[in-house]
Amino acid sequence: MTRSLSTRLLNICISSLCKAKKLERAEAVIIDSIRLGSLPDVVTYNTLISAYCRFVGVHEAHSIIPRMREAGLKPDVITYNLLIAGATKFSLADHSLQYFEEMSQNSILPDECSYNTLIHCLFKSGCSEGAFSIFQNMIERNVPPSIITYNTLLYGMCKAGYAINALRLFRELRQYGFSAELVTYNILLDGLCKYGRLAEARRILKELGESQYAPNAITYTTVMKCCFRSRRFQQGYEVFSGMISRGYTSDAFAYCTVISAMVKVGKIKEAYTFVAQMFKSGTALDVACYNTLIYMYCKEGKLEDAIQLAMDIDEASDVYTHSILVDGLCKMGYVDDAHKKLNDMERRDLASNLVAYNSLIDGLCKSSDVEFAMNLFGRMKSKDSFTYTSLLHGLCKAGRYRVASKLMIICLGEGISVLPSVRRAILAGLWCLGYRRDARKLRAAIKNASLSW
């Protein structure tokens, strides 16, 4: 009894230290407890393995198993489930399969949790065929799948782009008595909506309405986003109205989705109406919601309001907050202020976002300050198609076609594509100014790049 109590107290102590991320202290406590005669059990080491999976890595977590054996303890199914879950977190399919095989080698029978976690890991890592093979292995070993198993399969298929196949599987399962849950319907709706299968999504939504489950905030937001993405704004408003009428008004994400959709199509007046509704409902605003409001103010040209709102959330602001302001300042012609804002981002170590750099380069080129844009371009760690397109446009506008052609060749060499109109403009400028050798060299580079693409 005393030994059982001391081991329980040890486990509580190890759990507390692991939650506090003090893993070295936890290791030291285990060593001290063994020295004092209070022996750890499998739960002790499983707690430690779980912490290593979350805070350090699965390789380090797996290295604890030999120590378990040295202490005379055998790892159990929970031990390996934790390792497989840790591998899933980092999409390490090879590691998860290795741990699964190790279970069999140690005569440990995998349970439903083992299979579900491994199936999810394989789907997450892009190994759809492997996931189905594991599911087949689950059936062959007479481990009965649960609703969680089927939801994992449907979720994985939808994320892998096989939403229609997921729908077919759902139909087949229903024929065999599968009882879907609300989360099942939400998984299918999300998958179908993301791939533009609106007709099928509507049918699923209708089936949900005829079932024993009532749609929740996730259901409404998923369908609403799909409507706005497909530019079916009236349907999106109706979905949002239905959401409010059912009492789902506490989610700021839904309001932000509607407001953002209104701003993008220029319906600023309607956007302000939804902003007023959001504040009236007492919805708690997060940084994403504030970013949406700042974007709305910038879009309308109300930079003072946008800057004031950013100052109000100064501590909570993120890289997107400042990137939106940089873009807004550039579009309003305040390029110097945008550059100051970018410098402020660098001081705060927030300048990793490509959007801010691209916005400033575009603004500099439009204000004919190409030299400054070139300097900023040289400071950038990563570049995309928009970066090159903006700078190439600026160089052409300044008549610096030879510099543009050299930059274009670098761009093509990095496998980045720019608009055909930019290529034509540079070639036309080179021919017009008599730089025929440069024009032929650029044309050859464009041809080689087209073949490689």
Instruction: Dump pLDDT digits (tens) for 70-105.
Output: 989 999 999 999 999 999 999 899 999 999 999 989
Burial class (CB in 10 A: 0-12, 13-18, 19+), 385: middle
Query: How far is 428 from 276, CA to CA, in rounded Å?
Result: 52
Q: According to the model, what pLDDT value does residue 453 have?
A: 45
All residues at 6 or more sequence positions from 422 whose CB lies less than 8 Å from its CB, including other chains: 389, 392, 393, 396, 408
All residues at 6 or more sequence positions from 290 whose CB lies less than 8 Å from its CB, including other chains: 309, 310, 312, 313, 316, 317, 321
Q: According to the model, what pLDDT value does residue 2 have?
A: 45
Instruction: Dump pLDDT digits (tens) for 192-219.
Output: 988 888 888 888 988 888 888 888 878 8
Burial class (CB in 10 A: 0-12, 13-18, 19+), 53: buried
Spans of all domains in the chain:
395-453
Mean pLDDT of 440-450: 87
Model confidence at 6: pLDDT above 90 = no
Model confidence at 261: pLDDT above 70 = yes
Instruction: Dump pLDDT digits (tens) for 336-359.
Output: 888 888 888 877 776 567 888 899
Q: According to the model, what pLDDT value does residue 197 have?
A: 86
* 214 DSSP assignment: P
Q: According to the model, what pLDDT value does residue 5 have?
A: 57
Percent of the chain's residues with pLDDT above 90: 47
Burial class (CB in 10 A: 0-12, 13-18, 19+), 358: buried
Phi then psi for residue 212, to 5 deg, are: -80, -5
